[in-house]
């Protein structure tokens, strides 16, 4: 799956208690795949309310990375009995498998009971590989799945590829961008037929230039702030750079999203930020008010453009 979730889809979300932040069940219309999302301390209630999680499936454990405030942790696993496996992770008996970072959970199962252990292993391997392209996330999985993990006959493989594709969509719809592909084509290179509504979300291009940097930014379809591929960031940073920004810059360099070339750090692909200021700070290497620093060719700031 290249880029973001580009297939038009209708998703139904069931709120067990009517609370949008509580136990949720998400399902793509006409699909047998469902995602159950809940907090770690709700596991017992989920096992009582949804006995289907005792069947084979895949699970994702989510939590904060205490060593890097701008990043999250995610452990992806599979089991013949997901409910029992989660209880093991949740107990002291799990030892290193207790997953101390874990706060939120997504369980992915099939309602038709045709999912097997081999299917789950295949999906797990695909998801672990798919999560590796987002520098905002760290996977504490100690083992990387081999190429033959969960080998399946061709018809089963096709069905599980659709399971993986829908899983990425459902996890994103439930609020986690774990499978959002940060590296790859720049936003303007995505084929138009893959984004039928892109024209309605057309964004002007903003510029931020100065000594040692020259970057361009667009507003993505989801309202995020996308620095385009080829933009140049300043190599050096100041003492006032926010800790999270410094950590993110180092991560982007490690992942190859930022590459040092001469006097600049070059964005090798488009990268999205949650705010204009976060984008500007990453470019300039210090704290920055992106709302007034990003400008249109006519001199208007991002704040001016947003107000109009």
Among 30, 23, 31, 26, smallest CA distance to 12 is for: 26
pLDDT of residue 77: 92
For the chain, how are helix, strand and coil distributed in percent, rounded to 5? 35, 25, 40
153 alpha carbon, distance to own chain's centre: 29
Residue 216 burial class via C-beta count within 10 angstroms: exposed 0-12, middle 13-18, buried 19 and up: buried
Count Cα neighbours of 19 within 13 Å in the Cβ-side half-sphere: 7
Residue written as tokens 């999270």?
A: 244
* CA-wise closest residue to 24 among 12, 10, 34, 13: 13
Q: Are 50 and 36 in contact (CB under 8 A)?
A: yes
Place of tokens 């361009």: 216
54 near 45, Cβ under 8 Å? Answer: no
pLDDT tens over the chain, length 308 residues: 334 445 678 899 999 988 888 899 999 988 889 999 999 989 999 999 999 999 999 999 998 876 665 678 899 999 999 999 999 888 755 455 657 788 899 999 998 878 888 999 999 999 988 886 677 788 887 666 655 555 788 888 898 999 999 999 999 899 888 887 654 433 333 333 333 333 445 678 999 999 999 999 998 876 788 999 999 999 999 988 888 888 889 888 988 899 999 889 999 988 888 888 989 999 999 989 999 999 999 999 998 888 77
Please identify which residue in the block is written with the tokens 């580009």.
6
CA-nearest of 152, 150, 128, 118 to 77 is 128
pLDDT at 148 (0 to 100): 56
For residue 145, what is the DSSP state? P
The answer to whether the CB of 176 falls within 8 A of the CB of 62 is yes
């Amino acid at each position: 799956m290249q880029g973001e979730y580009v297939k038009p889809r209708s998703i139904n979300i069931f709120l067990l208690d009517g609370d949008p932040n509580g136990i949720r069940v998400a399902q793509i219309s006409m699909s047998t795949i469902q995602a159950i999302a809940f907090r770690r301390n709700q596991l017992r209630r989920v096992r009582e309310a949804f006995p289907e999680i005792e069947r084979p499936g895949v699970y994702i454990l989510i939590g904060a990375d205490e060593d890097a405030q701008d990043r999250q942790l995610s452990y992806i696993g599979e089991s013949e009995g997901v409910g029992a496996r989660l209880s093991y992770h949740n107990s002291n008996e799990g030892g290193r498998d207790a997953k101390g970072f874990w706060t939120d959970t997504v369980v992915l199962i099939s309602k038709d009971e045709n999912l097997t252990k081999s299917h789950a292993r295949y999906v797990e391997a695909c998801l672990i590989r798919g999560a590796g392209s987002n520098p905002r996330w760290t996977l504490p999985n100690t083992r990387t799945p081999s190429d033959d993990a969960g080998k399946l006959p061709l018809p089963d493989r096709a069905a599980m590829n659709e399971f993986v594709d829908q899983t990425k969509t459902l996890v994103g719809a439930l609020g986690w961008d774990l499978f959002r592909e940060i590296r790859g084509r720049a936003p303007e290179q995505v084929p138009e037929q893959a984004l039928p509504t892109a024209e309605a979300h057309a964004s002007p291009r903003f510029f931020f230039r100065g000594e040692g940097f020259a970057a361009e930014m667009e507003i993505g379809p989801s309202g995020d702030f996308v620095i385009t591929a080829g933009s140049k960031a300043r190599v050096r940073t100041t003492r006032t750079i926010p800790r999270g920004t410094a950590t993110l810059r180092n991560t982007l360099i490690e992942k190859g999203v930022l590459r040092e070339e001469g006097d600049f750090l070059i964005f090798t692909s488009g990268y999205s930020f949650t705010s204009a200021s976060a984008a500007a700070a990453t470019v300039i290497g210090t704290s920055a008010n992106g709302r007034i620093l990003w400008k249109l060719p006519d001199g208007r700031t991002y704040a001016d453009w947003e107000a109009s």
